[in-house]
């Protein structure tokens, strides 16, 4: 059962907000830029929507990814990221499904293993571009 695009978008933004908060950030959402979350003046990485940001999470946390095919199917129908299973049918495309799975897996890791908190320098978010 697919959500409407609007609901899906909100659920993605909610996951990004949740992850940023777990990483110890104060997140604000400005009405003028719906869907863009901010930490002070830095936009929160769009981990469920941007491969560059999501790839940084994947490598930083070492999330194992595997793709699963049901018997008789020619293409994979789901992805497993750590303990999280996501079905492609519930997402706009396979890439978005994989990104959501990675974000969910990182949230799960941080919530269940406090030692992961220490991987973070509070000012650096995986996937943020730093301009010097």
Written as tens digits, the pLDDT of the chain (132 aa) is 567 888 999 999 999 999 999 998 888 877 666 677 888 888 899 999 999 999 999 999 999 999 999 899 899 999 999 999 999 999 999 999 999 999 999 999 999 876 665 555 444 566 665 554
Q: pTM score > 0.75 for this model? A: yes
User: What's the CATH class of domain 5-118?
Assistant: alpha beta
Quick one: tokens of 125?
Answer: 């978010």
- Angle value at C-alpha 28, between 48 and 10, nearest 5 degrees: 40
Three-state SS at 7: helix
**DSSP state, 80?**
E
DSSP lists the bridge partners of residue 81 as 65, 84
Give the residue extent of every domain in the chain.
Answer: 5-118
Separation CA 25–CA 98 (nearest Å): 24
């Amino acid at each position: 059962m697919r959500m409407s695009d609007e609901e899906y978008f909100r659920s993605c933004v909610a996951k990004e907000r949740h992850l940023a908060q777990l990483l110890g950030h104060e997140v604000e959402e400005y009405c003028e830029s719906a869907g863009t979350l901010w930490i002070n003046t830095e936009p929160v990485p769009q981990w469920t929507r941007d491969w560059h940001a999501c790839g940084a999470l994947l490598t930083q946390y070492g999330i194992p990814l595997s793709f699963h095919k049901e018997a008789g199917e020619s293409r994979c129908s789901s992805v497993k990221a750590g303990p999280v299973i996501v079905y492609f049918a519930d997402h706009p495309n396979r890439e978005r499904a994989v990104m959501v799975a990675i974000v969910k897996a990182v949230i799960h890791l941080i919530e269940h293993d406090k030692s992961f908190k220490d991987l973070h320098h509070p000012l650096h978010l995986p996937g943020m571009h730093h301009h010097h």
